[in-house]
């Protein structure tokens, strides 16, 4: 089951995820992620994520399916919708997992920005606008972690 890998709740990844969002909420299982998504991530946490993973507002808007202007209009404490919050959590979790597997966030960010033969020569970053793209990247990270390269 490939989708299960994207829902793993390893402590190291969760600490990285929380650091990326600059929030201090314990996340122990999928229900904690659901609850945090429903309660919403605020713009302040989103901007912290953006800075940490080197996404500009346009890239972030593309992943979250929001307009740049909508994000810009939000007050720092305004909560994102459940859907946008869920995407932000997926993004933070992916980057935490990548940092863990690559051993360094900069190495993972570099991998995200370069075309990959295993991904039909697309840059991994280009696949983040759909759930299927997130799933594909999580599966590819599992392969890399197990030493299986394309």
Question: Would the pLDDT of 14 be above 70?
Answer: no
- Is the pLDDT assigned to residue 7 strictly greater than 70? no
Q: Determine the Cα–Cα distance for residues 77 and 47; give it in Å rounded to an integer.
A: 11
What is the value of pTM for the model shown?
0.88
Q: Phi first, then psi: what are they for 116, rounded to 5°?
A: -130, 125
Q: What is the pLDDT of residue 8?
A: 52
- Average pLDDT for residues 68-75, to the nearest whole number? 96
| Confidence at residue 19, expressed as pLDDT on a 0 to 100 scale | 86
Domain residue extents for the chain: 2-145
Tens digit of pLDDT for each residue in 25-61? 887 888 988 999 999 999 999 999 999 999 999 999 9
Residue 24 — very low, low, confident or very high, per pLDDT cuts 50/70/90?
A: confident
């Amino acid at each position: 089951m490939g989708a299960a890998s994207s829902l793993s709740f390893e402590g190291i990844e969760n600490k990285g995820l929380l650091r990326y969002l600059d929030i201090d909420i314990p996340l122990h299982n999928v229900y904690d992620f659901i609850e945090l998504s429903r309660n919403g991530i605020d713009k302040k946490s989103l901007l912290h994520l953006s800075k940490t993973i080197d996404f500009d507002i346009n890239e972030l808007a593309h992943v979250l399916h929001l307009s740049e202007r909508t994000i810009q209009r939000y007050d720092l404490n305004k909560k994102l919708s459940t859907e946008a919050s869920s995407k932000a959590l997926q993004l933070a979790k992916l980057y935490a997992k990548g940092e863990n597997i690559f051993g360094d966030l900069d190495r993972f960010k570099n991998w995200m920005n370069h075309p990959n033969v295993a991904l039909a020569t697309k840059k991994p970053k280009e696949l983040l606008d759909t759930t299927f793209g997130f799933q594909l990247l999580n599966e590819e990270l599992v392969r890399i972690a197990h030493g299986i390269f394309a």
